[in-house]
Amino acid sequence: MANTRAALIDIDGVLTVSWRPLPGAADALCELRAGGINVLLVTNTTTRTRAAIATTLTEAGFDVTADEISTAPAATAAYLRRHHPGARCLLVNSGDISADLTGVELVAEDPDVVVLGGAGPEFDYGTLNRVFAHVQRGAPLVAMHRSLYWRTDQGLQLDTGAFLLGIERATHREATVVGKPSAEFFRSALREIDAEPGSTAMVGDDVESDVLAAQRLGITGVLVRTGKFTPQALDAASGEPDHVLDSIAELPGLLLR
């Protein structure tokens, strides 16, 4: 793949699991950069800000700055400023990401827009029932992603998509999804690093949201068998990844050969 000039790389499940580095991940990033690959980390992580993610990754041995990270919360803030300027937003999310939601007014009652971040203890019955009521009365529903599950050091855990499907079905309303697999999220990432789809690879552990979604835009898709990857998900996928690797440690060999 000698024509590859850029790589969009998921964080959770590709570089780390529960923020612990996967074997060879830090070295792979260094090797890609040394080979002239422009790297941008793209993540649906909603528990931490870009600055906090950069700090955590640096402590884990990665050479990363906040400017090299594109997150679903930051993309959500840009979407809300553009499409719902001045709106009062109810955020349901596990973790404090307010620093990345610049220009967004967050409220606890009577919202104009309902925003779903990452799932956790905050997604209890009472909260989800209030979300249901707000969407029923007409509040637009915005989701940072629709991932069904993710991998932690405790194994696979349910994520926002599992709850979002129920809310959409119950209200007969479809959410606007801003993070992966949204096409706009990938286009925004390409603009950040001034890259063209045909010379860019997307590396992820989610065959649908990371890999196939990117391939539909002409980006080369690379699935890794780490993180949330399961053979069953690959078998049931709506398409075939361009490449499947055991881990990101094999990525430099693929992109730089």
CA 237/CA 241 separation, integer angstroms = 9
Q: Which pair of structure tokens corresponds to residue 247?
A: 């881990």
The confidence score (pLDDT) of residue 95 equals 87
Q: Which residues are CB-neighbours of 98 under 8 A, at least 6 positions away?
A: 106
Residue 64, Cβ density class (10 Å: 0-12 exposed, 13-18 middle, ≥19 buried): buried
Segment (H or E) for 16: strand 16-17
pLDDT string in tens for the chain (257-residue length) = 768 999 999 999 999 998 999 999 999 999 999 999 999 999 988 989 999 999 999 999 999 999 999 999 999 998 999 999 999 999 999 988 988 999 999 999 999 999 999 999 999 999 999 999 999 999 999 999 988 888 777 888 999 999 999 999 999 999 999 999 999 899 989 999 999 999 999 999 999 999 999 999 999 999 999 999 999 999 999 999 999 999 999 999 999 97
Measured between alpha carbons, how far is residue 27 from residues 128, 215, 231 in Å?
Answer: 42, 26, 26
Q: Looking at residue 175, what DSSP letter applies?
A: P
CB 166 within 8 A of CB 152: no
Q: For residue 206, which of 193, 185, 188, 225 has the smallest C-alpha distance?
A: 225
State the alpha helices, DSSP H only, in the chain.
Answer: 25-34, 50-59, 72-83, 125-136, 160-171, 183-192, 213-215, 231-235, 251-255
CB 56 within 8 A of CB 83: no
pTM for the model stands at 0.82
The confidence score (pLDDT) of residue 203 equals 98
Amino acid at 140: P
